[in-house]
Amino acid sequence: MPARKHSKPAPPIDSPDRRRLPPLLRRAWYGLNQAFRRRIAHTGATPDQFTALRCLTEADAKGITQGELTKMMSSDPNTIASLVERMEAAGWIERRSHETDRRAYRIRLKPTGQRLYRELRQLAVDLQSGVLAILPEADREDFLTHLAAVADACRDAAEQSPKRGK
């Protein structure tokens, strides 16, 4: 009978000897964001603007409100307000009065925004394919499924956390 290997217990979750979720997520996001920023610099767009263009492309053709865009991008209203202003000034999007809410506007892509999105999308797809190529092809979809579950759990934790100072 072969000798049994004794595995030592995993170190505590906050041990420096263990991989930790926050620095790994940050390092992955930062590296991906910087790589994409450099690949698209010649277009004058930013990664956040690409995300907004993607959300608008995938949304209802009549457009979406700034609040809907804020939620889709998992961002805050002030950041999105500034982003929308810059994109409108660049001629990529337009704001039109909302048909039922006088306080809101519908944001839609203009043809220049649609063309820019197509160019940026190909660069994004190429980068994602290159990054995911470090994983065996059979594992890539499972990895993305697990990462989406982690992202959902992080969002849920934020929504369930009490706000301080209120």
What residue segments make up the domains of the chain, in order of their start?
A: 44-151
Q: Is the pLDDT of residue 52 over 90?
A: yes
Query: What's the rounded Cα separation, in Å, for the pair 149 and 7?
Result: 29
State residue 4's pLDDT score. 60
Q: Note the pTM of the prediction, 2 decimals.
A: 0.82
Tokens encoding 99: 């048909």
Topology classification of domain 44-151: Arc Repressor Mutant, subunit A (1.10.10)
State residue 157's pLDDT score. 92
Query: What's the rounded Cα separation, in Å, for the pair 32 and 11?
Result: 29
pLDDT in tens, 71-127: 999 899 999 999 999 999 999 999 988 888 878 889 999 999 999 999 999 999 999
pLDDT-derived band at 2, boundaries 50, 70, 90: low
CB atoms within 10 A of CB 51: 18
State residue 6's pLDDT score. 65
Please tell me the total number of residues recorded for the chain in this structure.
166
Asked if residues 120 and 50 have their Cβ atoms less than 8 Å apart, the reply is yes
CB atoms within 10 A of CB 71: 14
